[in-house]
Amino acid sequence: MIALAACGGSERFVRVVPDGITTGAASPPADPTFEVVARVAGVHDPLPVAGAEVAFVDLERALGQAVVRAVAPKHDHVLTVELVAGDARYAEGRLAVSLVARATLRTREGNTFVAQTQVVCRDGATLPARDGARVVWSCMARLAKDLAGWLDGLPPDKEEST
């Protein structure tokens, strides 16, 4: 309770969850040698919404679930996905969300750099800001889908940056 009070006065905290589901975890990848590590690196969690007394929380978990759901496992690799920038604004009944993620692929053994990319999403909807978790989730799912396409485009034995 103290941590929530220190984060932002009278803000209402809204958890970002996949497809509105509030229980359960992301299913593990089909290949146990593939690991997804999600981090919040340059974004506040909770992410405040300018123009509303709402902030979105649990961004790291939501990002990890979005990525695990979207990407095909890459045998013997670790994919680190960092949310490096984010913004949410509410004006005239419309919520706008912008997220930027950086993904780095490394080998599991030796931690050898394979490739890195950055993906961006902007999404919005006309709805009350307190109902905007689905907009944030939609944006995260789009980031994950873009990362899946990037991974699919890498040659199987890719050993240098793209």
139: domain CATH number?
3.40.50.10610
Residue 98 lies in a domain: yes
Give 7's contacts (C-beta < 8 A, 6+ positions apart).
13, 46, 55
What digits encode the pLDDT tens for the residues 94-132?
A: 999 999 999 999 999 999 999 999 999 999 999 999 999
Rounded to 5 degrees, φ, ψ at 82 are: -115, 130
Rounded CA gap, 91 and 110, in Å?
Answer: 48
What is the token pair recorded at 157?
A: 């034995």
Residue 35 lies in a domain: yes
Domain that holds residue 52: 2-15+31-153
pTM of the complete model: 0.84
**Count of structural domains within the chain:** 1
Q: What is the mean pLDDT of residues 1-8?
A: 42
Residue 116 lies in a domain: yes
Beta-strand relationship, 12-15 and 47-48: unpaired
Q: Is the pLDDT of residue 3 over 80?
A: no
